[in-house]
Amino acid sequence: MNKNSYSDDSKILIYLHGGPNSTDLNLYNPLISEFLSLNYTVYSLNYYGSTLFGESYMEKIQGDWFNSEVEQVISFIEQLIVDQKKKVVLVGESYGSILSVFVGNRLFNKIDSIVAISPILNLSRLLTFKKTYFENISKDKVKKYNNCLVHLLNSYNGNLLFIYGEKDKFITSSDVQIFLKRFSQDNNEKLHLKVNKTSGHYFYSEDDMEYIKNIVN
């Protein structure tokens, strides 16, 4: 876990990197830098499955996807938030966006805003790109994720922001349309969808970051 703080911990951003076999090295991240300038305390979590923490740590989620790493993040947030006076923003990129859906679904009363960058809206599509890596993810896990996504979108009262690039091979326009159709019309004002026409997976622009700040801050 990396912590950066310029504040009194009253405003918190929790960042979940993509991967999962990746790691956050506490190097320059423009999004984190923006929130630090807004006096947020930023926690970047290298959850189970992250690299550089030993083979057993990296392989812990194999065959048990979206369980131990989700519980780890939930436990961290619950220990961090001892009262509801803190403002909490949860940001997930790519695989981290999957975790943010599971975590947000469990802690939707404790998180003020959820930001999914390059969000995985169709988990089945991800499996077609990474068959070997995710070969033991069951259909039940995919169904559970889809149900959590729909439940979160229909139940969550905070801000939901999804940012994706039109050139992202993991997300198609049809995925987005299906995603929007499944979302409760009553809660449409809660969902903010930002499309970057020139970017692919992982990339976000200064305009994207300004958009994020205006919604969640």
Residue 101 in this model has a pLDDT that exceeds 80 = yes
Give me 145's structure tokens: 């994720």
> Using one digit for the tens of pLDDT, what is the confidence trace for 5-42?
555 568 899 999 887 766 666 667 788 888 888 889 99
C-alpha closest to that of 137 among 95, 106, 93, 104 = 95
Q: Please give the Cα distance from 174 to 167 (Å, whole number).
A: 13
pLDDT classification of 90: cutoffs 50, 70, 90: very high
Q: Please, what's the b/e burial string for 130-144 (b: 16 or more CB within 10 A of its CB; e: otherwise)?
A: eeeebeebeeebbeb
- The whole domain housing 6 covers 2-216
Give the pLDDT confidence score for residue 159 in this predicted structure: 87
Rounded average pLDDT over 109-119: 89
> Using one digit for the tens of pLDDT, what is the confidence trace for 169-216?
777 778 877 777 776 555 567 778 888 888 887 666 777 778 888 888
How many other C-beta atoms are found inside a 10 Å radius of the C-beta of residue 39?
A: 14
> Using one digit for the tens of pLDDT, what is the confidence trace for 45-71?
888 877 777 788 777 777 777 888 899
pLDDT classification of 91: cutoffs 50, 70, 90: very high
Give the pLDDT confidence score for residue 203 in this predicted structure: 64
Rounded average pLDDT over 136-140: 75
Give the pLDDT confidence score for residue 13 in this predicted structure: 92
SS (H, E, C) 124-137: HHHHHHCCCCCCCC
Q: The domain spanning residue 47 has which CATH number?
A: 3.40.50.1820
Give the pLDDT confidence score for residue 89 in this predicted structure: 93
Give me 207's structure tokens: 């305009």
- Neighbouring residues of 54: CB distance < 8 A, sequence distance ≥ 6: none
* Number of structural domains in the chain: 1
134-140 long-range contacts (CB < 8 A, ≥24 apart) are 134/65, 136/62, 136/63, 136/65, 137/65
Residue at token pair 């089945």: 124
Rounded average pLDDT over 97-117: 88
More confident site: 135 or 32: 32
| Element (DSSP H or E) covering residue 150 | helix 139-155
